[in-house]
Each structure stands twice: as structure tokens, then as C-alpha cells.
């Protein structure tokens, strides 16, 4: 497996573990109502699992298995940029859990995630082709 996929997938698994833990706490708190503040984990739970786990896993596996050019994966720099941007975006969105930033962090985080998707598409587009071409 290429090094970039290793990073994408390791980080995705870390978000899966954290997101499930947050989900379990939310669920327990819904039943037992022991700490109302735990409800603040809800947006981060959604962010970690939808973007951190699902989108990042898809990028990591796609980078690994999409058709190659002979032995090369083409220009890999945009794909590395996508790794940095998507994690920056998740970090910015999750920051709202710790400090109240009036929502700017969510806007900035979503923009970083959008840029990550664009960077990944920039890398992957030429690799969407029949095998052998
Ligand atoms: C890949 C797995 C998961 C994804 C993508 C996911 C995603 C979401 C989303 C989108 C919501 C908001 C739903 C809404 O507003 O209607 C949500 C809420 C929630 N999730 Fe998850 N979730 C996942 C796994 C889990 C797990 C494993 C647990 C518990 C162990 C959990 C517990 C909760 C709870 C308690 C809520 C709040 C429900 C409410 O608003 O009343 N989630 N999750």
C-alpha cells in the first residue's frame, strides 16, 4: 500500500474510533441524562464519522487502487495536499467543541474540506480511465 494511503486510512480509523466513542457517550447520555454538556459532542461526532472516517477512507483507498500509468500514480502532490486540507478542515470544525468561535471555524473548515475534495479530484481525474491505457 502506498505511504499516502497508509496515512489516509490510519487517520480514518482514528476518527472512526473517536467518533464511535462520542456516539456511545451521546447515546448513553440520551438514556441516562448524566451530563447535559455531552450534547456538545453531537456536531463533532457527525464531522468525525462523515468526513473523517467515510470521505477520508474513500480517498485513501481510491489513491491506492485507481488505474496507474505504467508504475506511476501521476502527480501525487495534490493528493498529499488533500490529506493536509481535509484534516485541517476537520480540526477547524472540531475546534468548536472546545471554544466558542461564533461559527467562523465551521465556515473555514468546510472551505478547507471543499478544497481537499478539489485537490483530490485534480490528482485522480487522469487516473479515471480503462486499465492499460
Ligand atoms: C459511521 C457511523 C456513524 C455515522 C456516519 C453517524 C452519523 C450521525 C449523524 C449524521 C447524526 C445526526 C442525525 C440526525 O440529525 O438526525 C448522528 C447522530 C447521533 N449518533 Fe451517530 N453516526 C454513526 C455511528 C454512531 C454510533 C456507533 C453511535 C452510538 C454508539 C451513534 C450515536 C449517535 C447519537 C446518540 C446521535 C444523536 C441522535 C439525536 O440527535 O437524537 N452514532 N450520527
What string of pLDDT tens digits covers the 133 residues of the chain? 999 999 999 999 999 999 999 999 999 999 999 999 999 999 999 999 999 999 999 999 999 999 999 889 999 999 999 999 999 999 999 998 888 788 899 999 999 999 999 999 999 999 999 877 7
Please give the distance, rounded to the nearest whole angstrom, from the Cα atom of residue 69 to the centre of ligand 1.
40
Is residue 21 in a domain? yes
Name every residue whose Cβ is closer than 8 Å to that of residue 81 and which is 6 or more positions away in sequence.
116, 119
Ligand 1 surroundings by CB, under 6 angstroms? 20, 23-24, 26-27, 30, 42, 45-46, 49-50, 53
Is residue 68 in a domain? yes
Distance (Å, whole) CA 64 – CA 56: 12
Distance (Å, whole) CA 3 – CA 21: 27
Is residue 133 in a domain? no
Is residue 132 in a domain? no
Please give the distance, rounded to the nearest whole angstrom, from the Cα atom of residue 81 to the centre of ligand 1.
29
CB-based burial label for 59 (10 Å; 0-12, 13-18, 19+): buried
How confident is the model at residue 132, as a pLDDT? Answer: 72
Is residue 55 in a domain? yes
Is residue 82 in a domain? yes
User: Rounded to two decimals, what is the model's pTM?
Assistant: 0.94
Distance (Å, whole) CA 15 – CA 19: 6
Total of domains in the chain: 1
Longest dimension (CA), the chain: 60
Is residue 102 in a domain? yes
For atom 30 of ligand 1, which residue has the closest CA?
Answer: 24
Taking a C-beta distance cutoff of 8 angstroms, is the pair 93, 19 a contact? no
Distance (Å) of CA 88 to CA 1, 23, 52, 53, 85: 24, 22, 11, 14, 5
Q: 117: domain range? A: 3-127
Name every residue whose Cβ is closer than 8 Å to that of residue 98 and which is 6 or more positions away in sequence.
none
Amino acid at each position: 500500500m502506498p505511504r499516502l494511503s497508509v496515512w489516509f486510512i490510519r487517520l480514518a480509523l482514528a476518527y472512526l474510533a473517536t467518533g464511535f466513542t462520542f456516539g456511545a457517550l451521546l447515546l448513553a447520555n440520551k438514556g441516562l441524562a448524566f451530563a447535559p454538556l455531552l450534547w456538545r459532542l453531537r456536531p463533532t461526532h457527525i464531522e468525525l464519522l462523515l468526513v473523517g472516517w467515510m470521505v477520508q477512507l474513500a480517498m485513501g483507498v481510491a489513491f491506492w487502487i485507481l488505474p496507474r500509468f505504467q508504475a506511476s500514480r501521476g502527480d501525487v502532490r495534490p493528493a498529499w495536499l488533500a490529506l493536509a486540507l481535509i484534516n485541517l478542515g476537520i480540526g477547524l470544525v472540531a475546534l468548536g467543541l472546545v471554544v466558542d468561535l461564533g461559527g467562523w471555524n465551521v465556515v473555514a473548515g468546510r472551505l478547507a474540506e471543499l478544497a481537499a475534495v478539489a485537490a483530490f479530484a485534480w490528482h485522480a481525474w487522469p487516473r479515471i480511465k480503462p486499465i492499460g491505457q
